[in-house]
Structures are given as C-alpha cells and as structure tokens.
Chains A and B, each alone.
Chain A
Amino acid sequence: MPTASYAGTEVTVNDEGFFTDSAKWTEAMAPEIASHEGIGELTDRHWQVIKFMRCEYETKGTGPTVRVLGKTSGVPIKELYQLFPKGPAKVAAKIAGIPKPRGCI
C-alpha cells in the first residue's frame, strides 16, 4: 500500500490516493490534500462539504454521490463543481479522508 504524508503524519492511501483508514484523518491534513488536488484555499463552503462528507460516511458507511450531495449538503451541484472542479464527490471524499464513494453499479 502506498503512503502519503500530510501535516507531518504518514498515512496509508490506496492507488488513487484515498485514505484506507478514515480514522487517521485530521482537519489539519485537509489543506495539504486539497492543494495536491489543485485547490488553493479551503473556504467555509469547502469545509461545509468536507464535514458533510465525513458525517455521511460515518452514518452510512459510504460517501454520497454528487447528485445526493447536491440534494442534501446545502450546496447546489453547480457550486459543488466550482468548489471541486475535478469532480465534487471524488475530490471532496479524498480531502475528507474517506474512501471513494460507492456511486455506481
């Protein structure tokens, strides 16, 4: 398993860079992960999505898809794409330290 170092702590990630253990994540790591994803500064709106992702993951065992995020996070889909241009559900999950959402069958 590859590892990555965020906020001075080494964590294991999968081939695509998603955390293998979400419990190892801390808020301090988020800005560094975000900059790897090309996101300069995390605004309050980014944090609203990141915290929502973690909360959903903790209650449901999987992060939401972009469509569900748009319906439930309080941030509409268009804005989600402005915040996380490369794909809101995938990138926000990575920054939030949770596995890639199980979105498709």
Chain B
Amino acid sequence: MLGGGTGGTLLANRLRRQLPRAAAEIVVVDADDKHVYQPGLLFVPFGLAKPEALVRSRQHQLRAGIEFHCSAIDHVDLQNDTVLLADGTSIGYDVLVVATGARLMPDETEGLLGPGWLEKVFTFYSLRDAAALQGALSAFNGGRLVVGVMDMPIKCPVAPLEFSFLADWFFRPRGIRDKVELTYVTPLDGAFTKATCNRELSGLLGEKGISLVTEFNTGEVDGGGRLISYDGREVPFDLAVLVPLHGGQAYVDRSPGLGDELAFIPVDQYTLQAKAKPNVFVIGDAADVPASKAGSVAHFEGQTLAGNIRRYLAGEPLDAGFDGHTNCFIESGFGKALLIDFNYDTEPVTGRFPGRIGLPLLRESRLNHAGKLAFGWLYWHMLLPGRDIPAVPSGMPKVGKHLSDAAQPGCAPN
C-alpha cells in the first residue's frame, strides 16, 4: 500500500479486518509519519483551527497486524512486481495499491513562487502555507483579495469557494468588509463544474458581494499584484490566495507504464483496477477517475476496493461497483453550510441526505455546518478505521433527492 493518507489508511484497515493474517501481509509505505486532517486546512487561515491539532501519527491510525514502513518511494517496477524505496529497501508484492494522492505543483505556474510569494501570494493547501496565510489575513486592512484556481483537477474543488465565503464572513466583524473587494477567479465557465450546483453557488457569490471571473487560465502570477491569463486578461490583487496546479507524485513519473501525463493513474472507474496491470489498484486522489478528489470519494471507494482486492486474490471476477459517489459539505460562513451529494451519472441536486429525513442538500443550513464540524470526529474514528458510516451507503442514495431538478452536466475544459 503506497501512501498512508486517507485512502491508504482506510483501505489497509478494511483489508486487515477482512483478510486473515495468515492469508495476507499488509505493508503501508509513506515518506513521513504525519497524517494531516486536510479538511481542517480551510479553517486555519481564519484562526478557526490550530495547525498542530490537525496532525496525528499515520502509524497510530493503522490496525494491529499492518506494518508501517517510513520511506519515500523511488519507483515501482511493474514488470517484477516490486517497489523500490528511497531508503534502499525493495518490497515485492502480490497486489499493489497506489494511494499516494495528489501533489501540489506551485512551481509549474510562472511567477507563483517568485517575488511576492508569502507576502502577497499565498495558498492554504498545506499546513505551513495555511498557517502563513493566517498571519497575512489577520493583518489585511482592506484592498483586493483574489481567490484563484490555477487549473483543474484540484483536491476538494469546493474548498476555494468555501474560502471566499469564509473571507466574506471573516471581514464583517472586523468592520472592514466594505474595504475588501473579493474576487473569485476560475478556469471553469462557472463557479462549479456541475450545472445545478453552479447556479446555486454563483447566486451565493453574488449575494455575498464576491465577483466571479470565469474561463481565466492563469499563465503568470506577477507578485507585484496581477494574475495574467494566457489570453492576456489581468486580475489585479493586493492579496492572492491561489490553489496551485495539482499532479500525481514524482515517483509515478519514474515508474514506466504506471501513470498518465499528469502522473495520475489510469484505472477502470468502476472496479478501480489500474489499466497498467491487473494486480495494481488505486484509491483516492491518485486515480484518474472522473470524480472529485475528495476524502469522501476515497471512503466510498474503500468498500468496493477492499472487496475487489479480496476477489482478485481469490481469482474471482471483480465487482464494477463504484458509482463515483461524492459527498461534500460547503462551508458558507455565518455558521452555515451547504451539502452536495452526487456520482458519475447524477449531478448535485436539492432534496435531503441520506434519505427523506436528513440534511438539506444544496441549501444553506446550520445543520450542515454542524455536520461539517462533526465530520472531524467521524474522520478519525469511523472513516480512517475503515468503518461504514451509519445510514450513509457507499453507493449514492437516490431517495430524498429531487432528481428532476438536474440540468445537463456541463463544464469548460478551455
């Protein structure tokens, strides 16, 4: 199991429960022993979460009977079913699971890390950067705050929207909201990729006085205070909060045949088996599936994937059971949040989740905010141990959803 993050941990724990110790040894490899609760990163810049409270030992999240090996990965030798580690160890495998997630690539955008970085230009997608942004936000006295997405795919595609909503909320009690010009910049043709959801979220941006700039592909960040698109448009800023380009991990590029151009791993989107070789499976952000890169996806994938690995080892046919189920809370400030729930075929709609009685979908509510906060506990105590969350099935529930609301899916690849 390469990677001890959300997907690797929950899958290792599921498999350890399902497979007798005599039948399978499970080894989890990761470069460090720091498991970061990534949904918490959004709250750090606003002083709502302490960076150190988001980190626990990776090893301690793994059940007894799972070996943890701390080393970076050099490469995977698919031909010989072997992983070569940076510490010189080589580990042979019968089944390989790639769970190494996505990598932030700020250096791939011209100027992003140049003059202005950590002065006017920030991100919140790592602990260190989110903490640095907290200082900048609390010192911000007014001016143009731009939240910008460099390009898709990104982890948690709603996070930059949530950041914008929280920024609107953050400046009000400080009495300077009228001095802050908030702008959301996206390469997509709307606030979000899915049509119905896009209408709702674009409306919310408008209500909160946040300007929306669409189809903006940032080619260059001028640290003096401008985003410049490839087609020559400019968005000026005094403070820029940017989501850098994402790709798969560097070792994937060093492993012939494993990944695509962006180092994500091509898989069958229903079985999660890698196209490279039948004994390789992928969970979470590392896969090229057309679903959001989000912890909920890794959780829902876990059930199908644990079953498929068991089937593969027993020589049985795989279950094409993963439907692309994704579930995201969208924090909208003022103690409220929205919830969206969708899959490969059904876009986010209104209604209730997980059934007729439940959390309101695609609508601001205090209940959803409470759900988002409760999720922190669920993450460490249910999700990572690889348990099913009561009443939340791994396939997307249709009961409670207003499916006739759904518009045609649409998005802008530029």
A residues near B (Cβ < 8 Å) are: 63-68, 71-72, 77-78, 80-81, 85-90, 100-105
Contact B193 A104 (CB under 8 A): yes
CA gap between A60 and B217 in the complex, in Å: 24
B392 shortest CB reach to chain A, Å: 21
CA gap between A102 and B157 in the complex, in Å: 16
Q: A89 — which chain B residues lie within 8 A by C-beta?
A: 413-414
* B residues 233-269 touching A (CB-CB < 8 Å): 245, 261-262
CA gap between A63 and B414 in the complex, in Å: 11
* B residues 36-91 touching A (CB-CB < 8 Å): none
Contact B412 A66 (CB under 8 A): no
Q: B262 — which chain A residues lie within 8 A by C-beta?
A: 67-68, 71
Question: 16 A-B Cβ contacts within 8 A?
Answer: A66-B230, A66-B414, A77-B219, A78-B230, A81-B219, A81-B230, A87-B231, A87-B414, A100-B413, A101-B413, A103-B412, A103-B413, A104-B411, A105-B290, A105-B292, A105-B293
Contact A68 B230 (CB under 8 A): no
Q: A89-B414, A100-B413 are in contact. Are A105 and B291 (CB under 8 A)?
A: yes
Q: B219 — which chain A residues lie within 8 A by C-beta?
A: 77-78, 81
Q: How many A-B residue pairs have CB under 8 A?
A: 65
B325 shortest CB reach to chain A, Å: 13
CA gap between A81 and B220 in the complex, in Å: 14
CA gap between A81 and B217 in the complex, in Å: 10
B378 located at the interface, meaning its Cβ lies under 8 Å from any Cβ of chain A in the complex: no
B215 located at the interface, meaning its Cβ lies under 8 Å from any Cβ of chain A in the complex: yes
Contact A105 B414 (CB under 8 A): no
A77 closest partner in B (C-beta):
B230
B153 closest partner in A (C-beta):
A105
Which 8 A-B residue pairs are closest in the complex by CB-CB distance?
Answer: A103-B413, A81-B230, A104-B411, A101-B413, A87-B414, A104-B152, A66-B414, A104-B193
B319 shortest CB reach to chain A, Å: 23
Q: B193 — which chain A residues lie within 8 A by C-beta?
A: 104-105
A64 closest partner in B (C-beta):
B261
B226 shortest CB reach to chain A, Å: 17
B102 shortest CB reach to chain A, Å: 12
B293 shortest CB reach to chain A, Å: 8
* B residues 200-219 touching A (CB-CB < 8 Å): 215, 217, 219
Q: B157 — which chain A residues lie within 8 A by C-beta?
A: 105
B413 contact from A72, A85, A86, A104, Cβ within 8 A: A104
Contact A90 B413 (CB under 8 A): yes
Extra inter-chain contacts (6) besides given A104-B412, A105-B293, CB under 8 Å? A66-B230, A66-B414, A68-B262, A81-B230, A104-B193, A105-B411
Name the residue in A64, A65, A80 with the highest tally of chain B Cβ atoms < 10 Å from its Cβ.
Answer: A65
Q: A71-B261, A105-B152, A105-B292 are in contact. Are A85 and B231 (CB under 8 A)?
A: yes
Contact A102 B261 (CB under 8 A): no
Q: A78-B219, A104-B188, A105-B193 are in contact. Are A65 and B414 (CB under 8 A)?
A: yes
Contact B261 A103 (CB under 8 A): no
Name the residue in A71, A86, A87, A90 with the highest tally of chain B Cβ atoms < 10 Å from its Cβ.
Answer: A87
CA gap between A57 and B262 in the complex, in Å: 17
A81 closest partner in B (C-beta):
B230
Q: B292 — which chain A residues lie within 8 A by C-beta?
A: 105
Q: A72-B261, A87-B215, A105-B193 are in contact. Are A65 and B230 (CB under 8 A)?
A: no
CA gap between A90 and B230 in the complex, in Å: 14
Q: B188 — which chain A residues lie within 8 A by C-beta?
A: 104
Contact B230 A103 (CB under 8 A): no
Contact B152 A90 (CB under 8 A): no
B151 located at the interface, meaning its Cβ lies under 8 Å from any Cβ of chain A in the complex: yes
Contact A66 B217 (CB under 8 A): yes
CA gap between A100 and B410 in the complex, in Å: 10
Q: B245 — which chain A residues lie within 8 A by C-beta?
A: 67
Q: A103 — which chain B residues lie within 8 A by C-beta?
A: 152, 411-414
